[in-house]
Every structure is written in structure tokens, then in C-alpha cells.
Chains A and B, each alone.
Chain A
């Protein structure tokens, strides 16, 4: 059933998938990036902390031209994103993606005092993040 539609369904990150060396688990970062406070409300699930930028005069279905393409707040750096389309080599499936790259500095949350329940303080860090 899932493949009858002829599309390669999207991939999204699992919460607890074992991570290989190339990927640094965000939950273990010393400075935790903070999600964008805004985003798109998508019923029935509610708020997703990301916007859906698009070209001029095409909202909907996109958010307004110049909607923030970032998924992380307190960020200063390079952003690249794009919607793509293509096909698998065997032409059985159409493939569409929305892959975004963020590289730069961010202010996130760092453990302020280990003698607490885990209270945070703001801290600056650098990193490269990819939204797949």
C-alpha cells in the first residue's frame, strides 16, 4: 500500500535510533540548540517548530516569502535550503526532499549547575546542523 502511491515516502529522524560517528547526538551536546519558537501549525499535531518558505505570491501552500528557513533560534550563520524532486534510478519512485543546512554560531542552553534538576543558562556555541 505504501508504495503504490509511487512516491518514496519521507524520512524523518527517529528519537532513539543509534547514531553513527558522523552524527553527533543533539541530546548530548554541551550547548543544546533551541528550536525556533514559531513554526507551522499542522492539525491534528499542532505546532512544528519550522516554517515552510516559498516563492513570492505562492502562499498558500507556502509560508510568506522570506519566512525564516531556520529550525534553530538564536542562530547566526549560513543557511541553505531547497525543495527538490527527482527519481530513483529504477524510475519506480518519485523523490521529493526538503533538506536544509545550517552552519554557524548559536546561543543555546547549557547546564548551569549540576546541583540542580538540570537548570540551564545561555551559552554560545558553533555547529553544523542539517534538517533532513
Chain B
């Protein structure tokens, strides 16, 4: 997005339902305008010079997608997050209370020009997910009382490393006995697809 937000849209609050106990969150969206950029990062056309590379994908197909997803906290996986650095650019400069979470849902997508459409279902299938409450930026050191609301059953206080770990994006997947193929949604989400 021109403002730097990464593929973010604003939706009505009513699109999201959170259960009274806070253990599940469901989102329902219809006909969200998106584009299909085929890979991430988008391929650089061969006739582009290196200084012409921009963050904007070059080939975009307008499409609409609808989906329902339910995220569910995994009991006993609570993590209390405390900022481990004051570096505003660090991934570890935030606070919150998070749980591992599974998810499942259904989707449909169709190009605006009608040349492609698909629908199906998906789920976390062992992939990482999390949900909870968080504070970042200005709020890291403000309104801290909101996540000091007692210890949940099974909560595991977590000590964060003082230094960010290796951030290389180039390595392979976790161990598995099955053939692994990386499907790169948004080009950089290595989700295991076993056949």
C-alpha cells in the first residue's frame, strides 16, 4: 500500500466476532477487492533495470475474495510477551498475552474478468498461528494494566531473548518424513504441502 501498510484493509467491527470467553475469533468477509500477483516478491520483468525495481508488483489481476475463518486458542499455551528491546524496528519490541491458535475456514475467489474462480477450504494443519491481545508502539509502555489481569490456567511466562535471533529467510522447513513442497503464499510463507 502507498502508506506502507502491508496488504491491510479496514473492515467493519461487525465482520469479527469474538466469543465471550475470548477463546475463538471468527471473521467473515465478502467480495474483498484483492489482486493476484502470482508470486512474492513479484518477478522483476527482464526489461527492468535494477534501479527500476519498486515495491509494487508489476503484474496484477483484479479479483474478489470471500472467506470465513475461525481462530481458536490452544489451551495451555499462554505466553506473556514483554518487550526485550527499545529498538523501534525490532520484532521483539511489543507486549501482550498470546496463545497458540489453530484456524479453519472456507474461501472463494474470482478474477474480475471472469477468467478464473475457485473455492475451497483451509486450515492450520499444524502450521503456526496465534491470537491474543497486544500493545506495540506508543502503547508498549502505556495501558499495561490491561494485560495484568491475572494468570490464566496453564500460562507459561516467557523470557524473550535480549537480542533478535537470526532473521534469514532462506532456510528450509522443519523436519518431516514426507516430501515437502513450499507453496509461497505472498511468496514468503513456507507452508508444508505434503503429497
Binding site for B on A (CB under 8 A): 2, 7-15, 17-20, 22-27, 29, 32-40, 42, 44-46, 48-55, 58-64, 66-90, 92-99, 101-105, 107, 122, 126-132
Q: What residue in chain B is nearest A83 (Cβ atoms)?
A: B127
Q: How far is the CA of A89 from the CA of B108 in the complex (A)?
A: 10
- Chain B residues contacting A88 (CB-CB under 8 Å) are 118-120
Q: Within 8 Å of chain A (Cβ to Cβ): is B20?
A: no
The answer to whether A68 and B92 touch across the interface, beta carbons within 8 angstroms, is yes
Contact A127 to B129, CB < 8 A, known contacts A11-B34, A14-B60: no
Q: How far is the CA of A129 from the CA of B105 in the complex (A)?
A: 18
- Chain B residues contacting A66 (CB-CB under 8 Å) are 79, 81, 91-92, 98, 158, 160
- Chain A residues contacting B174 (CB-CB under 8 Å) are 55, 58
- Chain B residues contacting A73 (CB-CB under 8 Å) are 136-138
Contact A18 to B139, CB < 8 A, known contacts A75-B134, A78-B133: no
Q: What residue in chain A is nearest B168 (Cβ atoms)?
A: A60
Q: Smallest CB–CB gap between B49 and chain A, Å?
A: 11
Q: Within 8 Å of chain A (Cβ to Cβ): is B146?
A: yes
* Count of interface residues, chain B, beta-carbon cutoff 8 Å: 112
- Chain A residues contacting B146 (CB-CB under 8 Å) are 76
- Chain A residues contacting B39 (CB-CB under 8 Å) are 9-10
* Closest 9 pairs (CB-CB, A-B): A82-B129, A86-B122, A67-B91, A38-B89, A74-B137, A35-B4, A80-B131, A73-B137, A60-B171
Q: Smallest CB–CB gap between A127 and chain B, Å?
A: 6
- Chain A residues contacting B7 (CB-CB under 8 Å) are 12-13, 71, 131-132
Q: How far is the CA of A60 from the CA of B121 in the complex (A)?
A: 28
- Chain B residues contacting A11 (CB-CB under 8 Å) are 34-37, 63, 65, 109
The answer to whether B139 and A26 touch across the interface, beta carbons within 8 angstroms, is no
Q: What residue in chain B is nearest A98 (Cβ atoms)?
A: B189
The answer to whether B122 and A84 touch across the interface, beta carbons within 8 angstroms, is yes
Q: Smallest CB–CB gap between A108 and chain B, Å?
A: 10
Q: What residue in chain A is nearest B189 (Cβ atoms)?
A: A98
The answer to whether B123 and A26 touch across the interface, beta carbons within 8 angstroms, is no
Contact A96 to B32, CB < 8 A, known contacts A78-B131, A88-B118: no
